[in-house]
Structure 1
Amino acid sequence: MSDTIFSKIIDREIDADIVHEDEHCLAFRDVNPQAPMHILVIPKKPIEMLARAEADDQALLGHLMLTARQIAADQGYGEAFRLVMNNGAAVGQSVFHLHLHVLGGREFSWPPG
């Protein structure tokens, strides 16, 4: 996987408004927020997209989900938030480093998109 803007944020080559970091992941505010809370949760391990994740990534993927839940709670949206993960350019993935969008603070429609 080539360097992405997210790998540069992990390496502190690019500034970001970081709200969480641990040994497995980093979370920061999206620079183009689509909701009052729009935080990206990214693994430190470079995985291009969910379709490229391996069986040994299972614990990491679960960690990302639980981290997203905790971030939503910390931000005051623990009972009402949306998680989005795009997989591939055809569905809107623009940075090819797996990431979760944690969104909250406004009403969302269904179906999404």
Structure 2
Amino acid sequence: MADCIFCKIVDGSIPSKKVYEDDKILAFYDLEPQAPVHVLVVPKQHICCANEINESNAEIVAYIFTKIPEITKKLGLDNGYRIVNNCGEDGCQSVKHLHFHILGGKKLNGAMC
């Protein structure tokens, strides 16, 4: 999508501080971190949100979750981390491109803990 900021990061027209990249996904540091380590993992294919996951694109989500342990090991998150996905306006999704937040680097607090 031409106006999607994450698509622009994926195609390199907007720079990012990359953590991991292959032909299917990109992981990069969040510009407004909510934890000492805050990385976003996005599929290179544009999928708007979790509501748009279907039989034809579900394999990318499984792929992301197979790569997260590799990414978190590289980040030194040996003591644990949190994975977050926001979906839609009420879910506080600010960029309409499926993405997963990896948060860690300290003991995280909050109702989800």
With the length of structure 2 as denominator, give the TM-score of the two structures.
Answer: 0.92
Matches within 5 A, 1:19-30: 19-30=19-30
Q: Contact between 1:81 and 1:105, CA under 8 Å: does it hold in 2?
A: yes
Matches within 5 A, 1:100-111: 100-111=100-111
Which amino acid letter does the alignment assign opposite residue 84 of structure 2?
Answer: V
- Aligned twin of 2:46: 46
Q: How many residues align?
A: 112
Instruction: Call closer, same or farther: CA 1:96–1:44 in 2, change over 3 Å.
Output: same
The Cα offsets for residues 12-39 of structure 1, whole Å up to 9 and x where unpaired, read as 1101001111011001000011111100
The Cα offsets for residues 48-95 of structure 1, whole Å up to 9 and x where unpaired, read as 001111112222101111222211111110340100000111111000
With the length of structure 1 as denominator, give the TM-score of the two structures.
Answer: 0.92
> Is 1:33 paired with 2:33?
yes
Q: Contact between 1:69 and 1:78, CA under 8 Å: does it hold in 2?
A: no
Aligned residue for 1:40, secondary structure, equals strand
Q: Contact between 1:70 and 1:78, CA under 8 Å: does it hold in 2?
A: no
Aligned residue for 2:57, secondary structure, equals helix
Which amino acid letter does the alignment assign opposite residue 17 of structure 1?
Answer: K
Matches within 5 A, 1:1-113: 3-112=3-112
Identity, in percent, stands at 37
Extract structure 1 runs of 4+ deviating beyond 2 A: none
Aligned residue for 1:46, secondary structure, equals coil
Task: State the 1:2 CA deviation.
Answer: 5.3
